[in-house]
Structure 1
Amino acid sequence: MRIGGENPKGGVPPISKRVMNLAHFLRQAARRHRDEVGFVCGDAAWTWADLDRRVDAMAAALAARGVAKGDRVLVQSKNCNQMFESMFACFRIGAVWVPTNFRQTPDEVAYLGQASGASAMICHGDFPEHAAAACRACPDIRFVLSIGPSDFGEDYDGLVEAYLGRSVPEAPVEQDDPCWFFFTSGTTGRPKAAVLTHGQMAFVITNHLCDLMPGTTHADASVVVAPLSHGAGVHQLVQVARAVKTVLPQSDRFDPDEIWALVAQWRVTNMFTVPTIVKMLVEHPSVDVHDHSSLRYVIYAGAPMYREDQKRALAKLGKVLVQYFGLGEVTGNITVLPPALHEPEDAPGLKIGTCGYERTGIQVSIQSEDGRELAPGETGEICVCGPAVFAGYYDNPEANAKAFRDGWFRTGDLGHMDEEGFLYITGRASDMYISGGSNVYPREIEEKVLTHPAVAEVAIVGVPDKTWGEVGVAVCVLRPEAHLSERELLAWMDGKVARYKHPKRVFFWEALPKSAYGKITKKDIRAELEARGCLPLERRLEASAQPA
């Protein structure tokens, strides 16, 4: 069968791969469930029809100000309904949504504006310095809209009111048309803009509903416990696809009591978070005060959850945990460990430490340095292919060349697969260190240290050592009222962890540095160790050897 005209090479000629504009999810929800609540924040609530009208109005306002298909709109905002709406307003006119981490500095946000080539900005009124810095650094930014009271830009809500009743046609989009610049966390170097597309994200949304939250309907509710600029934004986009109401805490800071109260009030059925947030939620006294029996899926990502933390969460919440492994570049779609495979007690045959099996439509390959696929049980770099893989980094050919090899996206994570295809993450390639010629993977040791009853959190980093090349340094946070010394912990580790894997030093802090998304950040731990004079170790050991 021939499609189109003659093709001298005998293949199928290129044709347009038009796909649904992602903003159409909101239109669908408004058509089918127009008077049902779609978004909640404090005492305020919006129906799906309200949200669709507001997004239409903002899309018309942006278009009237010259924003067109392919233009990038920088968004600096903490979680709020306007930020949520701005995603769909950009999508609707074919523009690219460029959300920032609202905790970043003005200069960091200005860099994101430059790196993305932003031509417009939506900025929360709490961040005038960020708006000013972005405008100074980005001459292409033609205007700024302000969310809430401010001394800069046109008022977002005022424009919505002015344009209510107006609409613009949904921009026609193709498979590879960008919709979202998802900035990486920048663990090495400056953040890079991963280009997410309309076609890719349609697969991601379908995959999330299939693998993470099967059976989700408009009768469900989801509470937001992370910034909408990253993984939580993807999660809420998935909720819109099924007309699931989104419940936003009113407090700007993380408050476990407020979260659990909202779960009870709105009969919340799912949430997306990271392991450290799950840990804080289940260890807070309020978990025993509020009814959370409505929860079906507590989805965590960003890092594997330590086994001891899993056990505590399962004991409090029941078998509702869902783990997925995936980077922003793969939009979370690599593996899944569903509730049925989260067991509250260790038992023979239990796959402890796995992050699950391949997501639907995704293939994982464990590869050596030279790209050779490794056998089950062998540790190498986790590489992935499939429709969820991003289109590449924006305007960064060098990064793209490093990120892809023979069509495989290289995650930079190390791990191995077993004979049944379950994946085990050893850690980031950058976390591994070599001590006396042997590879040491910090996560393996961290898992063991966390079984000590006095230890609440731990992070181990490799540091230079004159004798062994590199050694580990552990930083621990103790449980309330607990007492533990460096010597006691190292003695306790004897027989549990091979001696060459023992950290050379152990420090105890009141808290570990965490990112805006609640993840423990080892580059910040290393910097803090240096700031406190703990590194280099030789200097510290020499100082401690001096007579008092």
Structure 2
Amino acid sequence: MDFWTVRGEPGDVVERLRRWLSATDGEDVPGLVVETSGSTGAPKRVLLTRAALLASVRASADRLGASGPWVLTLPPTYVAGVQVLARSLVAGHTPTLLERDGWPDGEGWFVSLVPTQLTRMLSDPTDLAALRRAHTVLLGGGPIGAALRARAEEAGVRVVATYGSAETAGGCVYDGHPLDRVAVALGEGGRIRLAGPTLFTQYVGQPELTREVLVDGWFLTSDAGRIDEDGRLVVLGRVDDVIVSGGLNVPGPAVAERLRAHPAVAAAEVLGVEDPEWGNRVVAFVVGEASLDELRDWVAEAHDRAWAPRQLVRLDAIPLLPNGKPDRQALRARAEEAR
């Protein structure tokens, strides 16, 4: 299959995507390639068909109960940014580019953010006033703590948490429920499996990896989850976010969420870093003033004390990839430097 790779300045991507989306169904339309963030290694090149992207756009509008103009705050070359542009264009609106145009006037528009962006915007009066005018803020790209959701709701910002990836043409599970025609199942160890019309076709140049994760119409994600009593998918984090430390399984995302609730912590991430004594040591990367002993006690108040971090790395800010996700490789390097 022919394809084109999403690259370039936002304005150029908008025009190329506009032409691609406006092709008639009978035309020979090339696929579209978006790259993954590469947060845990080399980026993968994900091939999406026009039909898959449009299925996602339409299912999203159906679930939100409306469509309209979108504001781009994310890189246009990753799937979340591509989706913002496509949703706006399919709805008949040229997307607003926040860095160039600023927030739109009026109400009823949409925006997609990652948790770090929302956290910062809730503290900025101008951004907060704008977000209150939005129809919906889609929030994805990382763990979404209950405290952040509660803070947004108290501020009058309507948030819908999304789960998905480039391989699913973006978010395909909204607030724990799959979009129409999307199926969710759990495999061995709670590994999340997804199926439906939004799935990708292949990893370009990686046929073996494609066969590993696309099995009988299902995409085998790298995430673990559970289904709660209300039938909602709860994402527990990446399968490799479970840190085996001293023979115990420590769920990194749960520890990180607890740390973020500490009054002296502005931001936090938790990773396992190879260690000769523990196999992997639990490392807390924190923006804030709390000491390691304070944070260990804080975690132990809510969880098993064995989950408490054994190393604290203080940062001025969590290093991020261009798409707003934490740069896990940079964090691990900082942990090794700090030893």
TM-score of the superposed pair, with normalisation by structure 1: 0.58
User: Structure 2 vs 1, CA of residues 311 and 439 (structure 1 numbering), >3 Å: closer, same or farther?
Assistant: same
Q: Distance in 1 between matches of 2:84 and 2:245?
A: 40
What CA deviation, in whole Å up to 9, does each residue of 1:78-109 have, x standing for no partner? 322x321022335567xxxxxxxxxxxxxxxx
Q: Which amino acid aligns with 2:43?
A: P
User: Structure 2 vs 1, CA of residues 191 and 491 (structure 1 numbering), >3 Å: closer, same or farther?
Assistant: closer
SS in 1 for 2:332: helix
Out of 272-281 and 179-188, give the one that drifted further.
179-188
User: Structure 2 vs 1, CA of residues 234 and 197 (structure 1 numbering), >3 Å: closer, same or farther?
Assistant: same
Q: 1:85 aligns with which of 15, 38, 41?
A: 15
Match of 1:242? 91
User: Structure 2 vs 1, CA of residues 316 and 499 (structure 1 numbering), >3 Å: closer, same or farther?
Assistant: same
Q: Which amino acid aligns with 2:8?
A: S
Aligned-pair distance for 1:358?
1.9
Q: Does 1:313 align with 2:189?
A: no
Q: Distance in 2 between matches of 1:171 and 1:206?
A: 16
Q: Which amino acid aligns with 1:331?
A: A
The answer (yes or no) to whether the contact 1:333–1:388 under 8 Å persists in 2 is no
Q: Distance in 1 between matches of 2:222 and 2:72?
A: 28
Match of 1:181? 33
Match of 2:247? 437
Aligned-pair distance for 1:172?
3.0
The total of aligned residue pairs comes to: 338
Q: Which amino acid aligns with 1:78?
A: E
Q: Which amino acid aligns with 1:302?
A: G
Q: 1:411 aligns with which of 217, 221, 226?
A: 221
Q: 1:499 aligns with which of 297, 305, 311?
A: 305
The answer (yes or no) to whether the contact 1:222–1:268 under 8 Å persists in 2 is no
Q: Which amino acid aligns with 1:360?
A: D
Matching of residues 385-424 of structure 1 within 5 Å = 385-424=195-234
Q: Distance in 1 between matches of 2:199 and 2:285?
A: 35
What CA deviation, in whole Å up to 9, does each residue of 1:295-325 have, x standing for no partner? 210111112312222222222234x101110
User: Structure 2 vs 1, CA of residues 493 and 192 (structure 1 numbering), >3 Å: closer, same or farther?
Assistant: closer
User: Structure 2 vs 1, CA of residues 529 and 391 (structure 1 numbering), >3 Å: closer, same or farther?
Assistant: same
Out of 380-389 and 236-245, give the one that drifted further.
236-245
Runs of 4+ residues deviating >6 angstroms: none
Aligned-pair distance for 1:333?
4.2
Aligned-pair distance for 1:397?
1.0
The answer (yes or no) to whether the contact 1:304–1:323 under 8 Å persists in 2 is no
Aligned-pair distance for 1:245?
4.4
Q: 1:205 aligns with which of 57, 60, 67?
A: 57
Q: 1:172 aligns with which of 26, 48, 67?
A: 26
User: Structure 2 vs 1, CA of residues 206 and 73 (structure 1 numbering), >3 Å: closer, same or farther?
Assistant: closer
Q: Distance in 2 between matches of 1:92 and 1:511?
A: 41
Q: Does 1:224 align with 2:72?
A: yes
What CA deviation, in whole Å up to 9, does each residue of 1:41-72 have, x standing for no partner? xxxxxxxxxxxxxxxxxxxxxxxxxxxxx654
User: Structure 2 vs 1, CA of residues 267 and 415 (structure 1 numbering), >3 Å: closer, same or farther?
Assistant: same
User: Structure 2 vs 1, CA of residues 473 and 188 (structure 1 numbering), >3 Å: closer, same or farther?
Assistant: closer
User: Structure 2 vs 1, CA of residues 472 and 297 (structure 1 numbering), >3 Å: closer, same or farther?
Assistant: same
The answer (yes or no) to whether the contact 1:267–1:292 under 8 Å persists in 2 is no
Q: Which amino acid aligns with 2:169?
A: T
Match of 2:316? 510
Q: Distance in 1 between matches of 2:322 and 2:294?
A: 33
The answer (yes or no) to whether the contact 2:56–2:172 under 8 Å persists in 1 is no
What CA deviation, in whole Å up to 9, does each residue of 1:465-523 have, x standing for no partner? 33332220101002xxxx32222222333322211111111121111110111111222
Aligned-pair distance for 1:421?
2.1
What CA deviation, in whole Å up to 9, does each residue of 1:2-52 have, x standing for no partner? xxxxxxxxxxxxxxxxxxxxxxxxxxxxxxxxxxxxxxxxxxxxxxxxxxx
Aligned-pair distance for 1:380?
1.6
Aligned-pair distance for 1:335?
1.2
The answer (yes or no) to whether the contact 2:223–2:238 under 8 Å persists in 1 is yes
The answer (yes or no) to whether the contact 1:362–1:387 under 8 Å persists in 2 is yes
1 or 2, which has the higher strand percentage? 2
The answer (yes or no) to whether the contact 1:324–1:334 under 8 Å persists in 2 is yes
Q: Does 1:330 align with 2:136?
A: no
Q: Distance in 2 between matches of 1:193 and 1:178?
A: 15
Larger-Rg structure: 1
Q: Does 1:473 align with 2:279?
A: no
SS in 1 for 2:57: helix
Match of 2:116? 276
SS in 2 for 1:411: strand
User: Structure 2 vs 1, CA of residues 321 and 91 (structure 1 numbering), >3 Å: closer, same or farther?
Assistant: closer
Instruction: Return 5+ residue gaps in structure 1 as ranges.
Output: 1-69, 94-169, 252-257, 338-355, 369-378, 535-539, 541-548
Match of 1:303? 142
Q: Distance in 2 between matches of 1:246 and 1:92?
A: 16
Q: Which amino acid aligns with 2:298?
A: W
Q: Which amino acid aligns with 2:253?
A: R
Match of 1:133? none
User: Structure 2 vs 1, CA of residues 188 and 398 (structure 1 numbering), >3 Å: closer, same or farther?
Assistant: farther
Q: 2:274 aligns with which of 450, 460, 464?
A: 464
Q: Which amino acid aligns with 2:291?
A: S
Q: Distance in 2 between matches of 1:424 and 1:85?
A: 37
User: Structure 2 vs 1, CA of residues 292 and 469 (structure 1 numbering), >3 Å: closer, same or farther?
Assistant: closer
Q: Which amino acid aligns with 2:89?
A: V
Aligned-pair distance for 1:277?
0.9
Aligned-pair distance for 1:360?
1.2
The answer (yes or no) to whether the contact 2:274–2:280 under 8 Å persists in 1 is yes
Match of 1:215? 66
Match of 1:489? 295
Match of 1:12? none
The answer (yes or no) to whether the contact 1:200–1:388 under 8 Å persists in 2 is yes
